[in-house]
Amino acid sequence: MRGFPELLLRLTLLCLGIAIGTGAVELFLRVSGPPKDVREFRGLHVLRPDRPWLYGLRPGSEGTVNGPSGEIPYRVNADGFRDRLYARPKPPGVYRVVVIGDSIAFGYGVEQEQGFTERLEALLAELAPEARVEVLNMGIGGYNPYLEAAFLRDVGITYEPDLVIVQFCINDLNDPTLHFDHHTRERLGAFPDAAYPDPSRRRVAFRAPSGMERLCRKSLVCSRFYEALLARSARKFDLAEERASAVPVEFSIGPEWDWLESLYVEMAAVSAQAGSRFAVLAFPHPGATTSPERAPVQERLAEMGREHGWTTLDPLPAFRQKAAVTRLFIDWWHPTPVAHEIAARSVLEQLACAGLLPPEAKRLCPPQDR
Question: Does the structure show a pLDDT above 90 at 118?
Answer: yes
Predicted confidence (pLDDT) per residue in 280-297, tens digit: 999 998 888 988 888 888
pLDDT at position 212 is 63
pLDDT at position 234 is 44
Which amino acid is located at 343 in the chain? Answer: A
Q: What CATH number was assigned to the domain covering residues 38-211+249-369?
A: 3.40.50.1110
End-to-end Cα, the chain, rounded Å: 97
Pairwise CA distance, residues 199 & 169, whole Å: 19
DSSP helix/strand/coil, 102? coil
Which amino acid is located at 99 in the chain? Answer: V
> Taking the model in full, what pTM does it have?
0.82
Predicted confidence (pLDDT) per residue in 90-99, tens digit: 999 999 999 9
57 exposure class (CB count in 10 Å sphere: 0-12, 13-18, 19+): buried
Task: Tell me how far CA of residue 364 lies from CA of 115, 123, 272, 367, in angstroms.
Answer: 20, 10, 25, 9
pLDDT at position 202 is 73
Predicted confidence (pLDDT) per residue in 303-361, tens digit: 999 999 999 999 999 999 999 889 999 987 899 999 999 999 999 999 999 999 999 99
Structural domain boundaries in the chain: 38-211+249-369
Task: Tell me how far CA of residue 60 lies from CA of 57, 63, 83, 265, 352, in angstroms.
Answer: 9, 10, 11, 33, 34
Predicted confidence (pLDDT) per residue in 215-274, tens digit: 665 665 566 565 555 445 444 444 445 555 555 555 556 789 999 999 999 999 999 999
